[in-house]
Structure 1
Amino acid sequence: MALRVTFVATARSSERPAERFGDDRPLDQAGWDEVRRAGGGLLPLAAAELRYCSPTPRSRATGDALGFAPLVQLALRDCDMGRWRGLTLGEAMAREPEAVDAWLADPRATPHGGESLLAFIGRVGGWLDTRPREDGCRIVAVAEPSVIRAALVYALKAPASTYWNIDVRPLSTITVTGHAGRWNLRFDGPFEASHASSGVWAQPTRA
């Protein structure tokens, strides 16, 4: 029985989306302007039978502004970055360069005292695999870019390092179809193409 799950990336809360680990700031004016501009194109997604969002303020606000009235899902929370929460990558490097190197190199590493990248991907994937199995059911989830990246790595059964090579822009969309253990990436045409973003986000390196 095939499900259709469309992820919508949250609108921005700063000029550089997801700039800080565990960023939970609300939408800024630029974010609200983005939602207004994209609202018409994303409106059809409000017809999904199930509508969810990450627990961050900007995810909830994005979903509400788009008319989704989403249900918060704790499993779609951002990766727990432990004592690095609230820091930029550069700030974490300045404080603990060796720990950051270990974290970037090993998806099982937890030098920050939080959650490993591998555990994060598994948690998000577990949420995806446990969606109600009703054939043809449409699901929409407004989520943080990091959560969407984790979902794609899981759905495609890609190496964890692939996470660093996925770029998710504000209010972009991506759809996966299938069921637990078998997911396919889907591109449907003009609607998705007009809002989806593709690209490569290179793994950060120390200066």
Structure 2
Amino acid sequence: MSLRVTFVASARSYPLLAERFGDDRPLDQAGWEQVLSVAHALLPLAAAELRYCSPTPRSRATGDGLGYAPLVQPALRECDMGRWRGLTLGEAMAREPEAVDAWLAEPRCAPHGGEPLPVFIRRVGGWLDTRPMEDEGTIVAVAEPSVIRAALVYALQAPPGTYWNLDVRPLSTTTLTGRAGRWNLRFDGGPDQPSRV
């Protein structure tokens, strides 16, 4: 038996440098325009047997805007950033430069008082491994790019530090196939269809 899980990265609400840890802001006008511009290409994913999203307002709005009517999954929430929640990376760096340096250098530490990166990765991986399995079952999940990066590290059984080397763009798709404990990254795409990374 094999399951196909396609992650869709939520649209971005604000410029990258304005992104905040644990950002609860809804999609802005530019984000809605992004969703509408790709909706025709991503609409076929609405045929998935199960449709989920992370709890953030922008993931829910992205899923609804794409016609998925997704079910919120608490396990797909972003990493708990403790006292850095609501701060940009620059603001956290200005307040606690040594702590930010330690966090970026050592995945197992959580100087912010929240979730260490390996715990976050295992949480997202645990969600992935407990999805209902049917022959050739399909799932679509709209989530924050950070959640998708965690799923990829888990699926590929890569070291936690690999998380920092993955770039997941807004409204990109990432497909994993397999079953609990055995996942493969699938590259679709070709000359006539967008690449899924």
* TM-score, length basis structure 2: 0.96
Q: Which runs of 5+ in 1 are unaligned?
A: 198-207
Which runs of 5 or more structure 2 residues have no equivalent in the other structure? none
**Contact 1:173–1:192 under 8 Å retained in 2:** no
Question: In the alignment, does 2:82 pair up with 1:88?
Answer: no
Deviations 1:5-59 (A, max 9, x none): 0000001110228821111110011110011110000010000000000000010
Alignment of 1:37-186 (within 5 A): 37-186=37-186
CA distance in 2, matches of 1:177, 1:45: 15
Which runs of structure 1 show a deviation greater than 6 angstroms over 4 or more consecutive aligned residues? Answer: none
Change over 3 Å in CA distance of 1:9–1:191 after alignment to 2: farther
| Cα contact 1:17–1:170 (8 A) shared by 2 | no
Q: Could you tell me how far 1:105 is from its partner in structure 2?
A: 1.6
Q: Which amino acid aligns with 1:136?
A: E
The code of the aligned residue for 2:8 comes to V
Looking at structure 2, the residues matched to 133 and 72 of structure 1 have their Cα atoms a distance apart, in angstroms, of: 19
Percent identical residues: 78
Distance 1:18 1:157, change over 3 A: farther
